[in-house]
Amino acid sequence: MATGLVPSPTPETAPFWEGTKAHELRIQQCNSCGKFYFYPRSHCRYCNSTDVEWKTVSGKGTLASYVINNRPTPPFDKETPIIVALIQLDEGPRMMSNIVGVEAKPENLELDAPVTVDWEDRGDQVIPVFRFAEGA
Ligand SMILES: [Zn+2]
């Protein structure tokens, strides 16, 4: 059972973590320029507008990059190796996450292959992870 560190929501990130508990990937979108961005913050990273809104996005994307981590990390209760992945979301932003559902070998990790979000219970939080899309 993979557990690992449990994140602590802050006022700015709380809507994201409320979304994961509902199995919805929520990120912010700017109402001035229309762009999505991640990580959570009070203003648009592109145009500085504070007219921003939380939206539920598709949870679909592609694998932009990854590293296979063979070293256990505190609190040393998560199975290794783990795949630390940079996900290119279809809506634009990139998100650090994990790839699950495949053995952690480079030949299983095709760059730009389609992925979809899945959910991992961890402590009292739900963590977004990604797996390769069906039929990809
Ligand atoms: Zn903007």
pLDDT, tens digit, 9 for 90 and up, residues 38-78: 999 999 999 999 999 999 999 999 999 999 999 887 777 77
pLDDT, tens digit, 9 for 90 and up, residues 77-132: 777 899 999 999 999 999 999 999 999 999 999 999 999 999 999 999 999 999 99
Q: What value does the CA radius of gyration of the chain take, rounded to a whole number of Å?
A: 15
Q: Say how many Å lie between the CA of residue 130 and the centre of ligand 1.
A: 27
Let me know: does 57 contact 89? Beta carbons within 8 Å: yes
Q: Cα separation of 97 and 83, whole Å?
A: 8
Q: Say how many Å lie between the CA of residue 30 and the centre of ligand 1.
A: 5
Q: Say how many Å lie between the CA of residue 78 and the centre of ligand 1.
A: 38
SS3 14: helix
pTM of the predicted protein model: 0.90
Return the amino acid letter for 119. W
Where along the chain do the CATH 2.40.50.840 domains lie?
A: 58-136
- Specify the CATH number of the domain 58-136: 2.40.50.840
Q: Say how many Å lie between the CA of residue 14 and the centre of ligand 1.
A: 21
Per-state percent for the chain, helix, strand, coil, to nearest 5: 10, 40, 55
